[in-house]
Amino acid sequence: MPNRLAEESSPYLLQHAENPVDWYPWGAEAFDEARRRDVPVLLSIGYSACHWCHVMERESFEDDSTAELMNQAFVNITVDREERPDIDSVYMKAVQALTGQGGWPLTAFLTPDGEPFYGGTYFPPEPRHNMPSFRQILRSIQDAYDQRREEVLENAAEMKGLLERSASERTEGPVTDDGETIVGLKLLEHSFRFLASRFDPKHGGFGAAPKFPQPVTLDFALRVHVRTGNTQALEMVTQTLSAMARGGIHDHLAGGFHRYSVDARWRVPHFEKMLYDNALLGRLYVNAYQLTENPEFRRIAESTFDHLLADMRAPEGGFYSALDADSEGEEGTFYVWTPAQIKELLDEDVAAIFMRCYDIGEGGNFEKSNILHLPHDLGAVAKREQMHLEQLREMLQNAKRVLLEARQRREAPFRDEKILAGWNALAIRALAEAAGALDQPRFLEAAVLSLDFLLLKMRDGDRLRRSYKDGSARIDAFLEDYAALGNAILTVYEVTLEPRWLDEAAWATSRVIDLFWDDSESVFHDAEGILDDAESHAEGVLPDPSSNGEPLVIRARDLMDNATPSGNSLAVELLIRSAHLFGDERLRDIAHRVLDREAGFMARYPSAFGHLLGALDRSVADPIEIAIVGERDDPRTIELLHVALGPYLPNRTIAGMAPGEDIPHELPVLERRERGAEPVAYVCERYACKAPVSDPLALAEQLSTG
């Protein structure tokens, strides 16, 4: 019989709807019930594409005896971390403080007031590898809460205090020999040296196994190269991107990338596919192509975005969240191959060459099957096979097309079809940037369609919603959603020069300030503040950041850039971009206050602040403004815009107008721009401009010389 989760829309919660566990969704009802019964809360947090979440569900949550113990001793809540990053952030910090590690599924034990006192991640059904069983943990927590209540409450109060301090703390960073704190350019130099020391010169990427792509860190390295000319910074990016493109983390048939590699060589992936990874990596490959003109980077970027359009786009225009790692009850089954399967589909000679190129053998490289990867240089293979390289590439492309068609007949991994505002905004920005840089209109069409969907279907009045599924948008959006959306809108404006996006960009920027900025502390919070009923009525806004549940034990604030940029770093980037476009010094001042406040954290932990370091780089680097005056549908205007979008100019601001057009905002970039008989472009630095040009070649020359 279904439990309460059957009424939810989250695919992750619905996966638990048939469990014998008496699950509650996060909300006041669950905590009220815990108080009434005088029992602790068991909180389980995961997401639909999480392999070990599936394992723990299968081993424990579907087990009748375990469920009976959970129901008898606890009020049980499960949360989709992708819908509620605020809840995940708070309790992940608690579990990390308690155990020294975190991950999903996240398991936390709370008082009826939501204060954590114990936790962990995955627990096995039986004791193994020095880990207690889940049932042992449940009995121990039950006994402690019944017999040593005062001790439990003291631990909970201590943990709450720790969380409150961590949410407001600031740290001093390293200092120079003369005692000066590292800030500004010195902080950027220090951070890059630290990141370079962790770079894997053999396989690319950072650190050892498991190895994550870390696109925001690589994006920072690209910025370092552009600002300083540092060749090592560019080599770190190109080596990593080349290695990933050849590795098993890359889906060589459909395009796109898996979540991470379990080994240091990018060969064996954890097979889930996330929207945010592919948005961030696709954009990074575009930027690397702009700098290097390496056609392989362009091909990987385009195939990544085409994968999103083919496999992760909703009919309404938004993008789904994830593809699971598992199918047919096993991880990776959908993606791997045996030699017999290859030989059955391809001609004998083609199969032999394909298997040689993609390292397919009888023994397999993953549980007796094979993950496609390219350990060999194709030029050397072509020479050995007495073929031209392009002939070999065409043969492999045709073979991959055959294998992809065959793979599509397999049982596909589960697709999480909720649409998340912030993740969609990352994809919109990447697609729009790719459209301009690569001159690919299909990407711009997809970006605009998705952006219109977010603004029409996921915005209610002045409020953005976090999650959309089955025609319903729910949960108030968080800082990361508004800030990512604002950045996406600015990029779409630069690629289209349509004035309608200026109002939307200004709206998103104002929401970031009004809802999340704490001026007294100079910090951004991830969720809205909680107002009492009187304040709520006076302000006309919803009172609770967790719009369908209890207020959190602390107000969520997560500074670090992880798999996605933090809301904090996205907000700082948005304010710097908006300040430059709209000429609003208040926005610039707020951004600099955050950068100054968090300089100590950036200096101590550079690898956790890749995107914020990128925002710092933007704040100190020389900006480039490009003003284009001409009718938007004039081919000459379009060509000027195409030239402006072509090179990698990370600190670029583009604005445009048609002759005689009223722009809804005063833009310093467009002030006193002459409006002649033909389209014209101005290249400026800090609003001081070079001679206007109408010739695309002249514009390209001005941009190349800085």
Residues 312-366: tens digit of each pLDDT: 999 999 999 999 998 888 889 999 999 999 999 999 999 999 999 999 999 999 9
Range 532-553 average pLDDT = 45
Q: What percent of the chain has a predicted confidence (pLDDT) above 90?
A: 85
CATH 3.40.30.10 range(s) for the chain read: 4-168
pLDDT band per the 50, 70, 90 thresholds, residue 706: low
Contact 382, 389 (CB under 8 A): yes
Distances (CA, A) of 644 to 280, 639, 702: 22, 9, 10
Residues 385-395: tens digit of each pLDDT: 999 999 999 99
Residues 401-437: tens digit of each pLDDT: 999 999 999 999 999 999 999 999 999 999 999 999 9
Residues 190-216: tens digit of each pLDDT: 999 999 999 999 999 999 999 999 999
pLDDT at 180: 75
3-state secondary structure of 407: helix
Q: Does the structure show a pLDDT above 90 at 245?
A: yes
Nearest to 249 by CA among 293, 199, 215: 215
pLDDT band per the 50, 70, 90 thresholds, residue 659: confident
Q: Does the structure show a pLDDT above 50 at 526?
A: yes
Query: Nearest 5°: CA angle at 508, between 479 and 449?
Result: 105
Within 294-396, strands assigned E span: 322-323, 326-327, 330-331
Residue-averaged pLDDT of the chain: 93
Q: What is the largest CA-CA distance in the chain?
A: 86
For the segment(s) 4-168, the CATH number from 3.40.630.30, 3.40.30.10, 3.40.50.720, 3.40.50.620 is 3.40.30.10
Q: What percent of the chain has a predicted confidence (pLDDT) above 70?
A: 95
DSSP state of 2: -
3-state secondary structure of 601: helix
pLDDT at 530: 58
DSSP state of 207: S
pLDDT at 686: 80
H helix runs in 116-214, sequence order:
134-147, 149-168, 184-197
pLDDT at 539: 36
Q: Does the structure show a pLDDT above 70 at 438?
A: yes
Q: Is the dihedral of CA 340, 49, 242, 306 positive or negative?
A: positive
Separation CA 154–CA 6 (nearest Å): 36
pLDDT at 179: 67
pLDDT band per the 50, 70, 90 thresholds, residue 687: confident
Which amino acid makes up residue 620? V
CB atoms within 10 A of CB 274: 24
Contact 555, 527 (CB under 8 A): yes
pLDDT at 544: 40
Separation CA 382–CA 393 (nearest Å): 9
CB atoms within 10 A of CB 675: 13
For the segment(s) 622-706, the CATH number from 3.40.91, 3.40.30, 3.30.1330, 1.10.10 is 3.40.30
Q: Does the structure show a pLDDT above 90 at 542?
A: no
Residues 116-144: tens digit of each pLDDT: 999 999 999 999 888 899 999 999 999 99
Q: Does the structure show a pLDDT above 50 at 442?
A: yes
DSSP string, 482-526: HHHHHHHHHHHHHHH--THHHHHHHHHHHHHHHHHEETTTTEE-S
DSSP string, 653-698: EEEEE-TTPPPSS--GGGTT----SS-EEEEEETTEE---B--HHH
pLDDT at 177: 60
Distances (CA, A) of 233 to 60, 190, 465: 47, 13, 38
Residues 273-309: tens digit of each pLDDT: 999 999 999 999 999 999 999 999 999 999 999 999 9
Q: Does the structure show a pLDDT above 80 at 541?
A: no
Q: Count the helix, strand and coil residues of the chain and give each as a percent rounded to the nearest 5.
A: 50, 15, 35
Range 552-568 average pLDDT = 92
pLDDT band per the 50, 70, 90 thresholds, residue 677: confident
pLDDT at 552: 85
Token readout for 490 is 């600015």
Start-to-end CA distance of the chain, whole Å, equals 67
pLDDT at 548: 43
Residues 60-106: tens digit of each pLDDT: 999 999 999 999 999 999 999 999 999 999 999 999 999 988 999 99
Nearest to 144 by CA among 21, 43, 40, 31: 40
Looking at per-residue confidence, does 474 or 686 come out higher?
Answer: 474
pLDDT band per the 50, 70, 90 thresholds, residue 176: low
3-state secondary structure of 706: coil
Q: Secondary structure of 427-449 in the HEC alphabet?
A: HHHHHHHHHHHHCCHHHHHHHHH
Contact 625, 607 (CB under 8 A): no
CB atoms within 10 A of CB 601: 19
Range 640-665 average pLDDT = 93
Length of the chain: 706
